[in-house]
């Protein structure tokens, strides 16, 4: 197998231009993106990605979750392909790079292979996973979860957004439902490039994060039921205030996570208050707790203490309590072989790097269950993400894409 020269590099200007092209679709209100899964904006982003894949002569396959698989042939059509990719859907106040860098960094490495007329033994398949964010249809990493056999297709199709629209119906409506069985594809390996979405790499002046592990996640949806009543004329002792219950439980979430520092995080990011009127005591609230940790034991302890504490708060406030787990994935340890391929690539290219645990969840976390998988990260400004002000430098994007390029190339095996 030919060696990978350290001068094998992607075309950084073309990558950056392509990212900015995609950023025009589903613009946010403050310079980021709002291209939520299965919306018309998502459909437009998919169409642009399809156009670029057509121009690169990639053959597109789409599965029943709408995930897009664009294949570059290898010299051995029977060799297991090397997969690379991430997601194009965004948060409602998302950035231009979360997920997008991983898909378009993969497209750029394919474009660069064509420029350099490099052939690989194994085919290379570029992936856009449907509904990584899980914000419109919970849980996150939904399509990769079905692919890994964690969720069933029917379960995913039945998921509803806040307007009661079903995932399966919306996928049909935007015209991106494929006929491939989900999970039927076999992979030699899967690599994902992603921005760190945290402050470590930038603060340490590191170009590259070699992702050895990922945090586990629990999303607990809490419903508290009290009684609507007048905020002016209802005496305090007579109130059954669901809003007060949410406030106390939100504070409990923070306390529990803080008791496990530095290996835990916890917050409430979503809440619906009913009837949400200025002069009615909330009779019902629905909110979602997001607990994460790289440790199974910590995850379990946080969930146990939340149940106990919430029960006590609701007894004291005379509230009914329901807790439903609406999202979960275990802490993940990525494939050592793939991780060292990424570390070797960073070294060959002369990038500063460090091993890192991913704070956010990614499609790679589920694909790691069915194929050797690893991730490479680049820094982001102030560690900010899931915010329209999310920002990275072109140099960081290029460094991450070059490492991805070398890792995929080494795994797909150059043919002389």
Provide the minimum distance between the beta carbon of 305 and ligand HGY in the complex, in angstroms, as a whole number.
22
CA distance 370 to 211: 18
CA distance 9 to 189: 21
207 sits near ligand HGY (criterion: CB under 6 A): no
Stretch touching ligand HGY by CB under 6 A, among 24-32, 77-85, 128-136, 336-344:
128-136
32 sits near ligand HGY (criterion: CB under 6 A): no
106 sits near ligand HGY (criterion: CB under 6 A): no
Q: Which partner from the list ligand HGY, Mn ion, none does 361 bind, CB cut-off 5 to 8 Å by kind?
A: ligand HGY
Q: Which partner from the list ligand HGY, Mn ion, none does 134 bind, CB cut-off 5 to 8 Å by kind?
A: ligand HGY
Indicate the burial class of 117 (C-beta count within 10 angstroms; 0-12, 13-18, 19 or more): exposed
CA distance 248 to 306: 11
DSSP letters for 358-400: ESS--HHHHHTTTS-EEEEEE--GGG--SSTT----HHHHHHH
| Residue from 89, 98, 170, 390 binding Mn ion (CB under 5 A) | 98
Nearer to Mn ion, 340 or 387 (CB): 387
What letter does residue 8 receive in the DSSP assignment? -
Provide the minimum distance between the beta carbon of 92 and ligand HGY in the complex, in angstroms, as a whole number.
13
CB under 8 Å to 103, separation ≥6 — which residues? 49, 85, 86, 87, 88, 126, 127, 128
Provide the minimum distance between the beta carbon of 120 and ligand HGY in the complex, in angstroms, as a whole number.
30
Nearer to ligand HGY, 268 or 360 (CB): 360
Provide the minimum distance between the beta carbon of 228 and ligand HGY in the complex, in angstroms, as a whole number.
33
Q: Which partner from the list Mn ion, ligand HGY, none does 99 bind, CB cut-off 5 to 8 Å by kind?
A: Mn ion
CB under 8 Å to 372, separation ≥6 — which residues? 187, 188, 189, 190, 335, 337, 338
290 sits near Mn ion (criterion: CB under 5 A): no
207 sits near Mn ion (criterion: CB under 5 A): no
361 sits near ligand HGY (criterion: CB under 6 A): yes
What is the pattern of x (binds ligand HGY, CB under 6 A) and - over residues 341-360?
-------------------x
CA distance 201 to 392: 12
CA distance 323 to 326: 9
66 sits near ligand HGY (criterion: CB under 6 A): no
Stretch touching ligand HGY by CB under 6 A, among 133-141, 145-153, 281-289, 373-381:
133-141
Helix, strand, or coil here: 15? helix
Nearer to ligand HGY, 63 or 132 (CB): 132
| Angle formed at CA 403 by CA 400 and CA 408, multiple of 5 degrees | 125
Nearer to ligand HGY, 245 or 361 (CB): 361
CA distance 74 to 76: 5
Residues 208 and 377 sit within 8 Å (Cβ to Cβ): yes
Residue ranges binding Mn ion (CB under 5 A): 98-99
Q: Which residues bind ligand HGY (CB under 6 A)?
A: 132-134, 140, 360-361
């Amino acid at each position: 197998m030919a060696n990978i020269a350290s001068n094998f590099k992607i075309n950084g200007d073309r990558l950056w231009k392509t990212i900015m092209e995609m950023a025009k679709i589903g613009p946010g209100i403050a310079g980021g993106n709002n291209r939520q899964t299965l919306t018309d904006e998502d459909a437009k982003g998919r169409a642009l990605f399809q156009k670029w894949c057509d121009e690169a002569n990639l053959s597109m396959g789409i599965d029943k979750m709408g995930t897009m698989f664009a294949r570059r042939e290898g010299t051995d059509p029977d060799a297991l392909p090397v997969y690379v990719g991430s997601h194009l859907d965004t948060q409602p106040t998302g950035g231009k790079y979360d997920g997008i860098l991983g898909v378009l960094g993969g497209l750029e490495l394919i474009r660069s292979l064509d420029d350099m007329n490099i052939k690989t033994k194994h085919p290379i398949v570029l992936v856009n996973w449907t509904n990584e964010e899980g914000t419109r249809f919970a849980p996150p990493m939904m399509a990769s979860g079905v692919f890994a056999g964690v969720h069933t297709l029917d379960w995913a199709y039945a998921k509803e957004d806040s307007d009661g629209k079903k995932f399966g119906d919306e996928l049909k409506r935007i015209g991106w439902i494929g006929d491939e069985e989900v999970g039927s594809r076999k992979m030699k390996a899967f690599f994902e490039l992603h921005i760190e979405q945290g402050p470590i790499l930038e603060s340490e002046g590191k170009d590259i994060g070699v992702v050895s592990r990922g945090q586990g996640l629990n999303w607990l949806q809490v419903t508290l039921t009290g009684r609507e009543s007048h905020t002016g004329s209802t005496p305090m002792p007579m109130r059954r205030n669901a809003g007060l219950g949410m406030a106390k439980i939100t504070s409990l979430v923070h306390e529990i996570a803080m008791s496990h520092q530095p290996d835990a995080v916890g917050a409430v990011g979503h809440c619906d208050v009913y009837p949400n009127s200025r002069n009615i005591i909330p009779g019902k609230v629905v909110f979602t707790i997001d607990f994460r940790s790289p440790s199974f034991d910590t995850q379990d302890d946080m969930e146990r203490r939340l149940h106990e504490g919430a029960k006590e708060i609701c007894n004291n406030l005379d509230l009914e309590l329901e807790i439903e787990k609406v999202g979960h994935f275990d802490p993940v340890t990525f494939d050592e072989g793939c991780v060292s391929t990424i570390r070797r690539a960073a070294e060959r290219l002369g990038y500063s790097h460090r091993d890192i645990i991913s704070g956010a969840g990614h499609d790679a976390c589920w694909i790691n269950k069915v194929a050797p998988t690893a991730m490479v990260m680049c820094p982001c400004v102030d560690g900010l993400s899931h915010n329209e002000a999310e920002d990275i430098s072109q140099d960081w994007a290029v460094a991450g894409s070059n490492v991805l390029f070398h890792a995929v190339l080494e795994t797909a095996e150059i043919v002389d």
